[in-house]
Structure 1
Amino acid sequence: MSDGTKSWPAARIVATLIALCIVVAGFALYVTERPSGNNPAETVSTKASAPDGCAVKADKAKKLAAAATGSVAAMSASGPPVSLAGLSFNGPDGKPLKLADFKGKTVLMNLWATWCAPCRAEMPELDALQKEKGGSGFQVVAVNADTGGDDKPKKFLAETGATTLAYYSDHTMALFNELKDRGLALGLPVTLLIDKDGCLMTHMNGPAAWASTEAKSFIDTAAGG
């Protein structure tokens, strides 16, 4: 009886060490084995090695966040604003694009997936916003994050009645992982407001009624500033 009692703590210690090893190994695998595909880390990275001119817009970002009310009140100011011009994804023609290609436009970037139920409810709202406000000064850039091909996402857009939005995609998860690393993406959908210089001004996780009066007023403020 005493032998069994003495061996029990030792057995628990061994089991605990084994469990810790498994957790550490799993974490290392997650960190090091991310898909790269068309968005290698050096292309997608938004970590600036030198000041990019966006940080000086901190007060402007706060004022813009304050203008996000009602259905878009979850929009938070980026503190301080950083450049996202280096983020890349595929354009409607399947060729790589960067946010830098939209310089001169205020961009509402939305990351979505076909398995995301809130994304399905939100897509017609984004489509309506693009239809009414899209133009030379503003554009909704909705990027699909499915890891498969294009057929299912394009069918998803058709099913939701999104006929105005252009189709953008990143099937590698590199874009989502980059936003996650920066603390911007907790899940899907995630939406970012980027100014005409490629600076992240505000961001939010979760869906919003983008066709609402409050959302349109927010976009008018963002695009006009």
Structure 2
Amino acid sequence: MNLTLSPAAKTATIAITLAALGTLLLQTAVDVSSGQKLGASLWIQARFFTNLMILAVALIFALTWRRGAWPGASLPAALTVWIVLVGVIYHALLAADHDPEGWDVLVNIFQHTAIPLAVLGTWALLAPKAGLGWRDAVIWLGCPIGYAAYAILRGLLDGAFPYFFLNPVKSGWLGVGLYVIGIGVLFLVTGLLLVALARVLARR
């Protein structure tokens, strides 16, 4: 399996890296300009799966570009599942109650639409796919399940939950459990679909 980045992949990975970093910096600038301390802004951002996945995109794509090679087939595919579902879950569950203003509109577009689509397109057209198996989709669940545990524990400690479906005060523990199971199934099914698509594309 050739992991060396093509010229197109080099361009895509650095462009997505800059877009992801720019999005995080703009979000921080908006927070600080509204009166938040820098440390408080970063701490709050670290509560959200969206921001953590945007950071993961920036770091993994930056390292990929720097090395000039993909880190195997599994990690880019996993990152694609995670960031695409950031957009899907936002538009399905959260967008109706979210009304960004000013620069937050641009941040929102990049976080939940532009970057997920760019990562998906880059994976589909440029990333390695040979060797992906069904087991990979199960392994990829570690990220969202680990995040859910982190977010709930953090919320119990400081009283601030990032999403209503992880808030036992609003949704109850049964509701939170059902949401976590449902989202876990969504991540698993999406991962399995991506593996199936990878197998089709790898044969071409």
Higher fraction of helix: 2
Larger Rg: 1
Quickly name the TM-score band, shorter chain normalised. under 0.3
Question: Given the two structures, how large is their TM-score scaled by the length of structure 2?
Answer: 0.25
